[in-house]
Amino acid sequence: MINVGIIIGSTRPGRNGEAVARWVHELAAQRGDARFELVDLKDFDLPHLDEVMPAAMGRYEHPHTKVWADMIASFDAYVFVTPEYNRSTSGVLKNAIDFPYAEWNNKAAGFVGYGVDGGTRAVEHLRLVMGELHVADVRAQVALSLSADFEHFSLLRPAAHQEEAVATMLDQVIAWGTAMKAVRADRGRAVGADASCALRAQG
């Protein structure tokens, strides 16, 4: 069984993200085909990226980087719960993503976006980032609209069809997260020719 981290992508006081992530976690926990854990960026208190070496070199200097990287390493797949801020994901989530590198590689990811328009543009930006990190991002995603899936834009009341959307996204994350374990086991051959990995290997 794989381990899936559900990452809360907002640390804003009064954030909607926590309720969204807890709802996803509750639905996920009813399944028996993977282990799920909530990962709250608030608990890690990461500064703005303060490592001297690029993450791909794998030379983390600061204890906060190592703690965060160990948390990311402990999962086979991720569900990013992301708000949409100015047509993108949150700065705090992008910053947290930028700290580690190898710990993300050859894993799988799915997305739950929320915002005025369902957070779809935030998810699109995250998909670009996933490519650089060697993360296989699944097609199905959840898009929660502040007007249709929340009361007064702040009380989560997801429409009935959203539970099915979560289930489909998790089906895909678990299938790909399981498959990527084989890729990691064969890591040298699978990604050895990649420039970023070559950089890390030289480091």
Ligand X SMILES: Cc1cc2nc3c(=O)[nH]c(=O)nc-3n(C[C@H](O)[C@H](O)[C@H](O)COP(=O)(O)O)c2cc1C
Q: Out of 2, 5, 7, 17, name the contact with ligand X by CB under 6 A.
A: 17
Pick between residue 85 and residue 176 the one whose CB is nearest to ligand X. 85
Tell me which residue has tokens 């160990």: 70
**Is residue 86 a contact residue for ligand X (CB under 6 A)?**
yes
Q: Out of 4, 5, 10, 105, name the contact with ligand X by CB under 6 A.
A: 10
Question: How many Å apart are CA 199 and CA 103, to the nearest integer?
Answer: 15
Q: Out of 4, 5, 16, 107, name the contact with ligand X by CB under 6 A.
A: 16
Pick between residue 66 and residue 87 the one whose CB is nearest to ligand X. 87
Beta pairing, strands 155-156 & 2-8: unpaired
Q: Out of 49, 73, 116, 201, name the contact with ligand X by CB under 6 A.
A: 116
Ranges assigned E (strand) in the chain: 2-8, 34-40, 77-83, 107-115, 135-145, 150-151, 155-156
**Is residue 84 a contact residue for ligand X (CB under 6 A)?**
yes
Pick between residue 1 and residue 159 the one whose CB is nearest to ligand X. 159
**Is residue 31 a contact residue for ligand X (CB under 6 A)?**
no
Choose the stretch contacting ligand X; rule: CB under 6 A; options: 8-16, 40-48, 96-104, 180-188. 8-16
Q: Out of 115, 169, 174, 176, name the contact with ligand X by CB under 6 A.
A: 115
**Is residue 158 a contact residue for ligand X (CB under 6 A)?**
no
How many CB atoms within 10 Å of residue 77?
28
Tell me which residue has tokens 């703690």: 67
Q: 29 CB contacts (<8 Å, ≥6 apart)?
A: 36
CA end-to-end span of the chain: 33
Pick between residue 15 and residue 31 the one whose CB is nearest to ligand X. 15
Task: Evaluate whether 116 touches 85 at the Cβ level (below 8 Å).
Answer: no
* Selection from 96, 52, 104, 46 nearest residue 75 by Cα: 104
Choose the stretch contacting ligand X; rule: CB under 6 A; options: 77-85, 135-143, 169-177, 186-194. 77-85
How many CB atoms within 10 Å of residue 74?
12
Q: What residues line the site for ligand X (CB under 6 A)? A: 10, 12, 15-17, 83-87, 114-117, 146
